[in-house]
C-alpha cells in the first residue's frame, strides 16, 4: 500500500502481488474471472490461498459469462472522499453471477460502457434486474462495472 | 441449559467513564486513565491490586502506558480482542476467563477513543491502493461502514419486508432513553418520527439517524471473582454466560459472499451463549444491543433468538423496545444517542441495569443481555444479579 493519492482520486486495487491481482489483470483483458480450486473445481469469491472445501492450495482463474443479476444496492451520499463526492449520489451494487449465483461481486450500475457511476436514475434500480459486465479504465486499472441487459 | 465453568464465577464490580463529547482536550491516554481510575474508585480497589488488563486490538493506548500512569503493580495477564465493535463483550469475557483460570485476580478492561473529529474516522484515512478484502469494495465507492451495512439492509428489506418505520423505531427508542440520561450526548435533543423520515440520506436506505454518534470518550470496568465481589461496595453484576463467534465463510462488514449473508455472527454467538446459560432469551428483562447502525438491532433481535428470521422489524413496533415495552433495548441511549465508544458503554449500562441504577431502569431487571457488533466477528454477555 502507498499513502500517495492516485491520479483519479479513486481508491485502486493492487495490480500485482495480491491474491486478487489476477482478477484485475483479467479485467484489463476484458475478462471477468473468478478463482477456482484446481483440485476440486469449486469456485470461490473473494479469492484466497486455500480451498475451504478440500484444502488444496492449487488454484486457477476461470472466465465467466459476465451475466449477473442485482442482489442488493445502495445509493451513496456525502460525506465522502473528494473524487467520490463529486459523483454523489451514485450507486453501488452487489450482483450474483448467472453462471453460479453463489459468486457475488460488488460493483456499480452504469448506463453504458462509457457512462459514469451516477448515470443511472437510482429510482430505476431493482433487485433481480439482469445486468452484463462492461469494462472501464480508471488510471492504470480496468474496473468491471454493470449495465442493464 | 447447562452451566459452564464460567457461570457466575466472576463479576463486574466497578464501572467508570469520562464525559462524552466532540473535540475533548484530553488525549486518548488521559481519557483511558480517567475512566479506569473512576472504575477503581467505584469498587474501592487500589491500582496496585490490578494484575490483568484487557482491551481492543483497535485501542491505541498501550498497556504499559496505562499501567504506569494509573500506578498498577505486577501485571500478570493482558490481552486484546480484534474486530473493532465486535470486541467489547469479548474483552470482558476473556478477562473473566483469566480470573477463573487464575492468571489474574483483578482485571481492568477499557476502551478509549477520540472519534469525533472528521479526520479521525477510519474510512477517511485515505489509502490509494488496497489489497485483501478491501479491493472488492472500496474502489467501487463502498467507502464507509454505513455503506457496507446499508447493502445488507436493502437486501434485508427485500427479503423480509422490513421498512424505514422499523429502523425509526430503533432510533427513536434509543433517543427516548438518552433523553433520560444526563450523561448522554443527545440528553436534551428529542427525535420525532417526522424528523427521522425527513433526515438527509447517508447511504440509502440509511439516513442520518440510522447512524451512531461520533464520540470522544472512554469507559472502563473492573472484573474479579465472585468471592471477592461479595466484599466490595457495589452490587456485583455476575458474568453468567459469555460467547464469541466467527461464522463459516464470514467476511467482516461486507458479508455478501456467503450462502446466507443475513445470518451473521450473532446467530453463532447466540448458540454458544445460550448453551451455557440458565437464563433463556424469554427470561431476558433488558438488552444492550450493539447499534453502530439501526438495522443491526433487527438482525440482533433475530440472531439472539428473541424472534424468528425476518421478524426483527415487526418486533420493534408498538414501543416494544422502549422502557415499559416487551424488551427494552439500549436503555442509556447507546451508540446512537449516548456515545459511540465501540460499544463499551453497552457493557456499563448492562451493569447499571442489574445494579438497579440506570436512568431508564427496567423494573425487576435481574439480568441483562449485552452484545457487541453484528456484521463483524462478535461477542456477547449475559449479566445477572446475585
Q: What is the pLDDT of residues A32-59, one digit of tens each?
A: 999 999 999 999 999 999 999 999 999 9
Cell numbers for B148: 457496507
CATH number of the domain bearing residue A140: 2.40.50.840
**A88 and A147 share a domain?**
yes
A135, B226, B278, B288 from B369: Cα distances, Å: 48, 19, 13, 6
Is residue B290 annotated as part of the catalytic site, yes or no?
yes
Distance from CA of B211 to the nearest CA of A (A): 13
Q: Are the Cβ atoms of B143 and A108 closer than 8 angstroms? A: no
Q: Are the Cβ atoms of A5 and B128 closer than 8 angstroms? A: yes
Cα–Cα distance for residue pair B288/B332, rounded to 1 Å: 9
| Partner A contacted by B252 (CB < 8 A) | no
Dihedral Cα B169, B170, B174, B179, nearest 10 deg: -20
Find, in chain B, the residue whose alpha carbon is nearest to that of A19: B132
| Angle at CA of residue B168, ends B368 and B330, nearest 5° | 15
Contacts of B259 in chain A (CB under 8 A): 102
**A104 and A147 share a domain?**
yes
Contacts of B147 in chain A (CB under 8 A): 74, 76, 92
**Annotated active-site residue in B56, B156, B304, B340:** B340
Which pLDDT tens digits describe chain A residue by residue (149 residues)? 334 578 899 999 999 999 999 999 999 999 999 999 999 999 999 999 999 999 999 999 999 999 999 999 999 999 999 999 999 999 999 999 999 999 999 999 999 999 999 999 999 999 999 999 999 999 999 999 999 99
Cell numbers for A102: 453463489
Is residue B340 annotated as part of the catalytic site, yes or no?
yes
**A70 and A56 share a domain?**
no
The pLDDT score that the predictor gives to residue A2 is 39
Please, what's the largest Cα pairwise distance for chain B?
A: 57
B214-253 tens-digit pLDDT: 999 999 999 999 999 999 999 999 999 999 999 999 999 9
Omega prior to A89 cis, within 30 of 0: yes
| Partner A contacted by B133 (CB < 8 A) | yes
In a domain, A141, yes or no: yes
Cell numbers for B239: 458474568
B252-262 tens-digit pLDDT: 999 999 999 99
| Rg of chain B (C-alpha set) | 19
Give every strand in the sheet of A33-37, ordered side by side.
Answer: A43-44, A33-37, A59-63
Where do we find the cell 466484599? B231
**A85 and A145 share a domain?**
yes
The pLDDT score that the predictor gives to residue B116 is 73
Find, in chain A, the residue whose alpha carbon is nearest to that of B251: A46
Cα–Cα distance for residue pair B219/B24, rounded to 1 Å: 15
Q: Which of B138, B151, B202 sits opposite A77 (nearest CB)?
A: B202
The pLDDT score that the predictor gives to residue A4 is 56
Mean pLDDT in residue range B201-208: 98
Q: Are the Cβ atoms of B200 and A84 closer than 8 angstroms? A: no
Domains identified in chain A, total number: 2
Q: Which of A12, A46, A74 sits opposite B257 (nearest CB)?
A: A46
**A78 and A129 share a domain?**
yes
In a domain, A21, yes or no: yes
The pLDDT score that the predictor gives to residue A47 is 97
Query: Which CATH number, 3.40.47.10, 3.40.50.2000, 1.10.260.40, 3.40.50.300, labels domain B10-118+213-384?
Result: 3.40.47.10
| Rg of chain A (C-alpha set) | 16
Residue B35 has pLDDT above 50, yes or no: yes
The ipTM value here is 0.96
Phi, psi (rounded to 5 degrees) for A107: -165, -155
The pLDDT score that the predictor gives to residue B118 is 65
Among B286, B380, B294, which residue's Cα sits nearest to residue B324?
Answer: B286
**A98 and A71 share a domain?**
yes
Find, in chain B, the residue whose alpha carbon is nearest to that of A79: B202
Residue at a domain's end among A45, A63, A81:
A63
Distance from CA of A122 to the nearest CA of B (A): 10
Contacts of B364 (CB under 8 A, 6+ apart): B285
Where do we find the cell 459514469? A116
Cα–Cα distance for residue pair B231/A123, rounded to 1 Å: 63
A–B interface: beta-carbon pairs under 8 A: 135
Q: Are the Cβ atoms of A92 and B249 closer than 8 angstroms? A: no
**A40 and A76 share a domain?**
no
3-state DSSP assignment of residue B133: helix
**Annotated active-site residue in B156, B160, B238, B290:** B290
Mean pLDDT in residue range B52-64: 97
Distance from CA of A137 to the nearest CA of B (A): 12
Cell numbers for B256: 455478501
Q: Are the Cβ atoms of B139 and A10 closer than 8 angstroms? A: yes
- pTM of the predicted structure, to 2 decimals: 0.97
Among B206, B213, B169, which residue's Cα sits nearest to residue B191?
Answer: B169
Best to test chain A binding among B124, B125, B128, B260 (most A CBs inside 10 Å): B128
| Partner A contacted by B202 (CB < 8 A) | yes
**A25 and A69 share a domain?**
no
The pLDDT score that the predictor gives to residue B37 is 98
Contacts of A143 (CB under 8 A, 6+ apart): A27, A107, A135, A136, A137, B139, B140
Dihedral Cα B345, B350, B355, B361, nearest 10 deg: 90
Domain boundaries, chain B: 10-118+213-384
In a domain, A47, yes or no: yes
Q: Are B213 and B335 in contact (CB under 8 A)?
A: yes
Buried b / exposed e along A75-110 (16+ C-beta atoms within 10 A)? bbbeebbebbbebbbbbbbbbbbbbbeebbbbbbbb
Q: Structural domain of residue A37, as residue ranges?
A: 14-63
Distance from CA of B193 to the nearest CA of A (A): 21
Phi, psi (rounded to 5 degrees) for B190: -65, 160
- B113 CA to centre of own chain: 14
**A118 and A87 share a domain?**
yes
Amino acid at each position: 500500500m502507498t499513502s500517495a493519492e492516485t491520479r483519479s482520486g479513486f481508491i485502486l486495487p493492487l495490480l500485482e502481488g495480491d491474491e486478487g491481482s489476477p482478477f484485475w489483470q483479467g479485467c484489463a483483458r476484458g475478462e471477468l474471472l473468478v478463482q477456482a480450486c484446481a483440485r476440486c473445481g469449486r469456485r470461490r469469491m473473494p479469492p484466497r490461498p486455500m480451498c475451504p472445501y478440500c484444502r488444496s492450495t492449487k488454484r486457477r482463474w476461470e472466465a465467466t459469462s459476465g451475466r449477473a443479476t442485482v442482489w442488493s444496492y445502495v445509493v451513496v451520499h456525502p460525506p465522502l472522499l473528494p473524487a467520490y463526492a463529486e459523483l454523489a449520489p451514485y450507486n453501488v451494487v452487489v450482483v450474483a453471477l448467472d453462471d453460479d449465483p453463489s459468486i457475488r461481486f460488488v460493483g456499480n450500475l452504469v448506463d453504458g460502457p462509457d457512462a459514469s457511476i451516477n448515470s443511472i436514475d437510482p429510482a430505476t434500480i431493482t433487485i433481480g434486474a439482469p445486468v452484463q459486465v462492461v469494462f472501464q479504465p480508471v488510471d492504470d486499472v480496468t474496473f468491471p462495472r454493470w449495465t442493464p441487459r | 441449559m447447562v452451566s459452564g465453568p464460567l457461570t457466575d464465577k466472576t463479576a463486574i464490580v466497578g464501572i467508570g467513564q469520562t464525559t462524552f463529547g466532540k473535540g475533548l482536550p484530553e488525549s486518548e491516554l488521559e481519557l483511558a486513565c480517567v475512566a479506569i481510575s473512576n472504575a477503581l474508585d467505584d469498587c474501592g480497589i487500589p491500582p496496585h491490586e490490578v494484575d490483568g488488563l484487557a482491551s481492543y486490538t483497535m485501542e491505541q493506548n498501550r498497556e504499559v502506558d496505562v499501567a504506569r500512569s494509573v500506578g498498577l503493580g505486577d501485571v500478570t495477564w493482558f490481552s486484546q480482542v480484534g474486530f473493532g465493535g465486535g470486541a467489547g463483550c469479548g474483552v470482558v469475557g476473556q478477562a473473566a476467563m483469566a480470573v477463573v483460570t487464575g492468571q489474574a485476580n483483578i482485571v481492568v478492561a477499557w476502551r478509549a477513543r477520540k472519534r469525533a473529529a472528521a479526520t479521525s474516522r477510519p474510512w477517511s484515512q485515505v489509502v490509494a491502493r488496497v489489497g485483501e478484502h478491501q479491493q472488492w469494495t472500496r474502489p467501487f465507492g463502498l467507502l464507509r461502514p454505513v455503506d457496507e451495512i446499508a447493502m445488507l439492509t436493502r437486501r434485508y428489506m427485500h427479503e423480509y419486508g422490513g421498512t424505514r418505520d422499523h429502523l425509526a423505531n430503533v432510533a427513536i427508542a434509543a433517543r427516548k432513553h438518552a433523553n433520560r440520561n444526563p450523561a448522554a450526548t443527545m440528553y436534551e435533543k428529542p427525535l420525532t418520527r417526522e424528523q427521522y423520515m425527513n433526515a438527509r440520506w447517508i447511504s440509502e436506505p440509511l439516513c442520518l439517524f440510522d447512524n451512531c454518534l461520533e464520540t470522544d470518550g472512554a469507559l472502563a470496568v473492573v472484573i474479579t471473582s465472585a468471592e471477592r465481589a461479595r466484599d466490595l461496595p457495589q452490587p456485583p453484576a455476575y458474568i453468567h454466560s459469555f460467547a464469541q463467534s466467527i461464522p463459516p465463510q464470514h467476511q467482516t462488514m461486507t458479508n455478501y459472499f456467503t450462502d446466507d449473508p443475513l445470518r451473521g455472527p450473532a446467530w453463532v454467538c447466540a448458540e454458544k451463549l445460550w448453551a451455557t446459560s440458565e437464563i433463556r432469551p424469554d427470561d431476558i428483562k433488558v438488552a444492550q444491543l450493539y447499534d453502530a447502525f439501526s438495522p443491526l438491532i433487527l438482525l440482533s433481535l433475530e440472531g439472539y433468538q428473541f424472534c424468528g428470521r425476518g421478524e426483527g422489524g415487526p418486533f420493534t413496533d408498538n414501543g416494544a423496545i422502549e422502557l415499559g415495552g416487551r424488551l427494552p433495548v439500549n436503555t442509556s441511549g447507546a451508540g446512537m444517542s449516548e456515545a459511540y465508544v465501540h460499544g463499551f458503554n453497552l457493557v456499563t449500562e448492562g451493569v447499571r441495569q442489574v445494579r438497579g441504577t440506570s436512568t431508564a431502569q427496567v423494573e425487576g431487571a435481574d439480568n441483562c443481555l449485552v452484545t457487541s457488533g453484528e456484521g463483524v466477528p462478535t461477542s456477547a454477555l449475559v449479566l445477572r444479579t446475585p
